[in-house]
Structure 1
């Protein structure tokens, strides 16, 4: 490729983008906040998180009544709404004092918590079991989305099938038999 063709190729590839000198790095979250754009960005990401929690709540309610189905629905949501899932729990990027965000987060967590309460645990054991259930499904969803299970002997091709098998294998201490 001749010199002029290379320049034309680079101009086409860079159209609409500012070329950065080699020493200039891309901006990370902290740098964005310092630039003065933080309020607008925080508002946009908070709105995205609110929408994500509302979508998650709908997904979990559709599976209501079966704790294991609710757990799998959480994992399905993470796979089908990756942009929302990525920002929903990033307190460093959100306006965590936003009343809509607080309410949406509480509503979406209610179904998973209700499922734990339906297992007949004591009042003392229920909070720890709810945390364990959330950790289980959130951890699985994160491992799957990040590709950590792809080359693992624990992985497989179908995340729904793996999720069903995983939640079926879990028993919470103190839960009544179903």
Structure 2
């Protein structure tokens, strides 16, 4: 789904690079299908109060569900579904925040069901015609974002520019 060319490889400093990884200045989408941005918080093993966020581009809804199953829900900061022009009301690529990810299964097959902050359900378009009994399992529920205070900051007005800091916690349901 994502492809790049050798001329777009970014020369990353070897001391900062993870073994076997490559860095790219530009990637191309090979399909006009929904895809995802998953942002997680990574904590430093030596300094527990130190963390950074990492955003992962994920091509398929099933891959999103699998990645989420292997994560600590508290580290998930947010999920965004990038919707192609054919699935967007404005006829252009758009984004849709994802609050819940569900796996649905029936004798007809499996699918991933997504829920936005307004409670609207949506999917990525390739869903089997489910028949009863339909089983729905919650994979992950992302808590609404809460304003994040900067440590040691006493500023009462926002800094110049349009930078906002926000963090959402994630909780896994017992459902």
Give the TM-score range, shorter chain: under 0.3
Max Rg structure? 1
TM-score by length of 1: 0.24
Q: Which has the higher contact order (CA 8 A, sep 6+)?
A: 1
TM-score by length of 2: 0.24
